[in-house]
Chains A and B, each alone.
Chain A
């Protein structure tokens, strides 16, 4: 197991390096720079700015300086657009927000999704099953950028129950709509996966044996069926996590939560090279770690898997 983890971590390093180089080159290849502005800066001013931020250096030099800054003292540099702030500060402010509503959405999606999926499988072909399947397909095809304005319209403007946006340090009334908008489609996916996997397991030999032995249904499900049925759900959590970060773009834009998703899109559009790289590296690292975590969890659930 330890060897496996070590091996995976060893892959993580080239992965992240590839990501850094690729996005660095891509970003610098984009037309315009961080100081391209409508008014057009006089050449002397532009030269001063480029010198200050090291953009007058050759590309390889900029890249090595950048990577060295991260490796030596975890410094992602200053933002080119939010000039009072460093990338570390921008991430330190936005990431906890995204992490908060992201992990709440994650938990909500997993609990309701698994619950819905398991019930649908147990009462297979009942009205509950059809309802669950209906909900899960419906929720998957409704994009969250449609859902967000509908939520605001209903709960803020018509009913006046919830504030239409903001974060306010994560008070509950500000968290509800972002979580609903973000978690619904994952809940649906998880429900669908759980349902089919649960059906598969329920029809397998060892469950049939358990049932034949006369164990009560509840015990069969909790003790024997649930764990193996969770395998595909667990392997879905990796990609789900990444999609969730992407989904946070919509949440940040509609609910003004000030998270990391909007920061990324803004930085790409503003050519804020440093913030863009910082967020990409952060998300890349998290993805690698999360995938690793998922693999470990997978191995724990299914001891048959050998590495």
Chain B
């Protein structure tokens, strides 16, 4: 999985062509976004998943950690989804309520995705804008560093980090976030560079507008589109990375769980007649990833309308 660089570049180019007439760009974009059925559908799904994560716990009949001793040991026969006994999604191998666990896993996975992506975007934007704005030697050194870091097999490093510092949710946030800012920094730097020499900026500088105002009024609105799109598309990547880490057994600690952990457990027992253990978490995982995709794509198309 990857973020499509052509379209990111195209978007960045377009947003750098003219001074963004703040309100109208976003107003236009909103109009176009709302016309895009896939994107609106994605947004609705995302909202539903958020509601599920936030309020699902209130309709769960069990907590995410208590064992149902009446079912334990006969999961394949009695642990299936049932309205009658309150296990709407069935139970996991130990007789824990899968509905409650899916709600809780959704919270963790969304948190990892959103926080990880936020870290990546913040670091990347700051780093890229700084390098681009300062320019010269500093820029050169900073971007060479990015080149070097890009050549590091980051998944290997992440595994090492989790092995060394132990598994914790903070480490997951930091580890996943810190390896994804490199692309972001490149895009932002490129855009900052091209903005720096735009007439409207030079004009503003010539008329004595302060640097701070230039950045606030002219550079930030131009970066915002790219950042928003990139951040949205980064979330599903983060969620996928987390699921891989969980598969390796280096994810969050019990009794907490995540989509990756649930899916990995469910796929291991696929052959034992407990299909619901894979089906429910995988369903939420897949629709959320789809939704983020469609929203991100829709956002980009709205900001950079072209016939595709």
Contact = CB atoms under 8 A, between A and B. Distances in A.
Interface of A: 11-12, 14-15, 18-19, 22-23, 26-27, 29-31, 124, 137-138, 140-143, 145-146, 149-150, 153, 157, 185, 188-189, 192-193, 196-197, 199-200, 203, 231-232, 235-236, 239-240, 242-243, 245-246, 249-250, 264-265, 268-269, 279-280, 283-284, 287-288, 291
Contact of B270 (A30, A150, A192, A199): A150
A134 B253 CA distance: 35
Contacts of B88: none
Q: Which 3 A-B pairs have the closest CB atoms?
A: A141-B289, A246-B155, A232-B6
B151, B240, B268: most-surrounded residue (chain A CB, <10 A): B151
A30 to B, nearest CB: 4
Contacts of A143: 240, 243-244, 247, 260, 263
17 contacts: A14-B148, A15-B152, A138-B286, A140-B289, A141-B285, A141-B289, A141-B293, A143-B263, A146-B263, A149-B271, A188-B1, A193-B2, A196-B308, A232-B6, A236-B2, A279-B156, A287-B151
Given A268-B163, A280-B156, A288 B151 contact: yes
B159 A196 contact: no
B302 interface: no
Contacts of B152: 15, 18-19, 284, 287
Q: Is the interface of A mostly helix, strand, loop or mixed?
A: helix
Given A265-B159, A268-B163, A269-B163, A142 B6 contact: no
Interface of B: 1-2, 4-7, 10, 144, 147-148, 150-157, 159-161, 163-164, 236, 240, 243-244, 247-248, 260, 263-264, 267-268, 270-271, 278, 282, 285-286, 289-290, 293, 306-308
B153 A29 contact: no
Nearest to B2: A189
B160 A23 contact: yes
Contacts of A150: 267, 270
B10 A145 contact: no
A141 B290 CA distance: 8
A29 B164 contact: yes
Contacts of B160: 23, 26-27, 30, 268
A153 B270 contact: yes
